[in-house]
Structure 1
C-alpha cells in the first residue's frame, strides 16, 4: 500500500469508534502520524491497537472544553513541530424529539459537541497551519435537508456546513482547504437505528437505493480523498455519501 501520507501529522477527533476510528486506521496504513482524541478514554487505546505502528499520540477529553482543545493542539506542536491535516469527526447522534420536548440540557449537549467542539479545535489549529494543510469536517445529510423531530441535530449540522464554508473563504488565500462530508445512514455503534436494533436498521436501509446502510470504511475513503492531492482544487465543497437516498 502506498504511503502517500507518510510523516504527515493528522489530528482526528471522535477517533474512538465509527467513522473516526475507520479513518484513523486507514490513514495510519498510508503512513500518517496520528494525534487522536475522543471523549471515551477506553476506546482510544483500542483504536491505536488497530492502527499501523507509528509515533502516534492520543488524549481523551471533551472537545466542548476550550482549554482542553488548546492544550491538546499545543501538545501536538510541541511533539511534532507541525500539523498537516485535521479530521473533525466528533459528534453526538440525535434522538427524535418534538421541539417542545427539547430540554436546555439536550440543546447544549448537541450544540456543544457538534458545533462548538469543531470550532474549538479549528481555532486552536489555525495559527499552526501552513499552505497545503486542510480540514475535513463531518456534517450530515441533516445539515442539508430538514427533518421533523431532529431540529437540534439539524441546527448543529447546518452550523457545521456554514462554519466550514466560512473557513474555506478565510483560509483559502493561505493555501489551506476546508471541505465537508455529509454522510447519510452509516452503520456505526451510535447510529440511532443501530442502537434500536435489527428491525429499525432494516427500516432505515430500505430508504437507501443501495438497500443497505453505509460503512465507516466507505466514509473514511472519502475523507482520505479530500485530504489528498487529488482534491487539491476542492475548497468549501460539501460531499454527500448516502448510497442514494430514496
Structure 2
C-alpha cells in the first residue's frame, strides 16, 4: 500500500461504532483529519480517543436537514475544505412481516438510511473539488432481496441507485462516488450478533469463508476507494461479504 491521506479532511457519519469507527481508525492512521458525527456522544468520544484525539466530533441526526447543513458548514469552517465523505450512518434491520411493519419503523429506516445519505451528500457537494470522492454504504441486501426485511432492502437498494446517479452527475467534475455492500459483519448492531451464538453460527455457515467479516476489513476497502489507486472507479458496487452462499 502506497497511499496516505495527510492533510485530507474526511467526513464520516455513523462514526461512533462498527464500520464507521473502524474506518475512522484506518484513515486517521493514514494521516487524515476527521470530522465524525453520530447520535451517540459516548461512542464518538471513544472513537476520537482511539484515533489519537483532536478530531472534530458532533452529535448529528443525519435525517435532519438543519443539523446536517450546520455540521457540514462547521466542518468546512474548521478545516477550510472537505476532501472525502463516508456516508456510513444507518439503521440495521429487524425482521418484520410487511403487514406488521409500522409507520415508525418505516420512518426510522428511511430517514436515516436514505434521507441521511441524501442530506449529507447535498450539503457536501458545494465544497468538493476535482479529486474528492464519496463512499456510500449499502448492503448485500441492497442486491439480494430477503423476506421480512423489505423496508431495509428498499433503503439499501435505493442507496445503490442514488449513488450511481451521483457518479454520473458528479463524475464530469472529477468527484467520484462508489458503493460498498458489506455482508455479515461483526458489529454490535448486527441482528445476528444481537441474537447471540446461534445467530452468529447461521451467518458463518452462510459464507464461503466460514466466518463473519470484521469492521477493519471493510475499512481497508473504504480507504482504497478514497485513494488515488482507485481513481478509475466511479459508480462501482463493491461486495464485501466473504462469499455469500
**TM-score normalised to structure 1 length:** 0.98
| Correspondence for 1:27 | 27
Aligned residue in 2 for 1:144:
143
Any idea what SS the aligned residue of 2:41 has?
A: coil
Question: Residue 199 of structure 1 corresponds to which residue in structure 2?
Answer: 198
Moved more, 211-220 or 198-207: 198-207
Contact 2:62–2:112, Cα closer than 8 Å, also in 1: yes
The separation in 1 between residues aligned to 2:159 and 2:38, in whole angstroms, is: 18
Matched residue, 1:174: 173
Alignment gaps of 5+ in structure 2:
none
1:16 paired residue number: 16
Mark the runs of 5 or more structure 1 residues left unpaired by the alignment.
none
Structure 1: how far apart are the matches of 2:110 and 2:195? 23
Match of 1:185, SS state, is coil
Query: Per-residue deviation at 1:64?
Result: 0.5
> What is the deviation of 1:3?
7.0
Structure-1 separation of matches of 2:29 and 2:76: 22
Contact kept, 8 Å, 1:5 with 1:27, in 2: the verdict is yes
Please give the alpha-carbon distance, in whole angstroms, between the structure 1 residues aligned to 2:67 and 2:150.
28
1:104 corresponds to: 103
**TM-score for both structures, normalised by structure 2:** 0.98
Report the equivalent of 1:36: 36
1:82 matched to 2:87: no
Q: Distance in 2 between matches of 1:92 and 1:205?
A: 22
Deviations 1:42-65 (A, max 9, x none): 110000000034x42000121100
1:2 to partner: Cα distance:
6.6
Q: String of CA shifts for 1:14-55, please: whole Å, max 9, x gaps.
A: 0000000000001000000000001111110000000034x4
For the residues of structure 1 that align with 2:166 and 2:202, how far apart are their CA atoms? 37
**1:158-208 CA-partner distances (Å, limit 9, x unpaired):** 110000000000000000000000001001000001011111111111000
User: SS of the residue aligned with 2:7?
Assistant: coil
Which stretches of structure 1, 4 residues or more, deviate above 4 A after TM superposition? none
Equivalent position SS for 1:42? helix
Contact (CA 8 Å) 2:60, 2:71: kept in 1 or not? no
Q: In structure 2, the residue corresponding to 1:132 is in which secondary structure? A: coil
Query: Contact 2:11–2:35 at 8 Å: present in 1 too?
Result: yes
Give the length in aligned residue pairs: 245
Cross-structure match for 2:188 = 189
